Amino acid sequence: MKTRTLPFVVAMAAFALVLSGCSAKKLKYPACDGDKDCKPAEKCVNKKCLQCAKDADCGEGKTCVDGACKPKEGWCAGDGDCENGQVCKEHQCVACQADNECGEGGKCQNGGCLRKGQCKKDEDCAEDEDCVKGVCVKGGAKAGDDLPKCTLEEIHFAYDQYSIPDEAKPALQKNADCLSSTPRAVSVIGMTDNRGTDEYNIGLSDDRAQSIITYLGRLGIDPSRLHKVPKGEGEATGADEAGWAKDRRVEFKWE
């Protein structure tokens, strides 16, 4: 058996070290070799991390288009997914037909809902009320009068997302009902967990607050009353998934 020379052995060892270094080299996001290289819930598709690989990755009411989850046209989970006061029936936005489709005390006007306490003009309110910033208030009341007794619930988001989860939409309907009881303005405060850059998290918190304002606007709340405050990770305290989930939120503060 022929003995290999020392230079040959050294060369092979060096080559093996190079190969080892290459295989251990960390991929730069969004490049990937598998789902494990991507963010939670993302999929590795053709060596790139994307939001989805197929419709089933997106959940109900959404479809996978070029690696991104998009809402199915006309699909809704709640009335806030519909525009112009339409109502959500069997996951489709349709014009209202009767007052009882607009919630307790609501009115159906020209196919669109005007919910309890909401108004477009003084005639939509009782005789002793005026229409102030889209809300019926007793004559002489102002936007800065006493706070309502109802509370506004926080809304939480999935990691790296600003689309409103379907399970949060009933809480937003309650928030809309609460806002309809007063013309007072409210700060809509967007927040993130402490992962990601400061710049990215400010943008994400802004998007989260805006998605809430848009949704409440579809429920009849005047967007001019909703003041967006993106705080990014400024108040984040989480150190694990349970804590980060609490940080990913939008909260409200009466002004």
pLDDT band at 22 (very low <50, low <70, confident <90, very high): very low
* SS3 assignment, position 88: strand
pTM for the whole structure:
0.70
Helices 198-218 & 169-179 angle (0-180, nearest 10): 70
CATH assignment of 143-254? 3.30.1330.60
Enter the DSSP assignment of 231: -
The three-state secondary structure class of 65 is: strand
Q: How much is the pLDDT for 11?
A: 57
Say whether 193 sits in a helix, a strand or coil. coil
- How confident is the model over 178-194, as pLDDT tens digits? 999 888 999 999 999 99
Kindly list the domain boundaries of the chain, sorted by start residue.
28-73, 143-254
Tell me the pLDDT tens digit for each residue of 63-108: 999 998 888 887 898 898 898 899 999 999 999 999 999 988 899 9
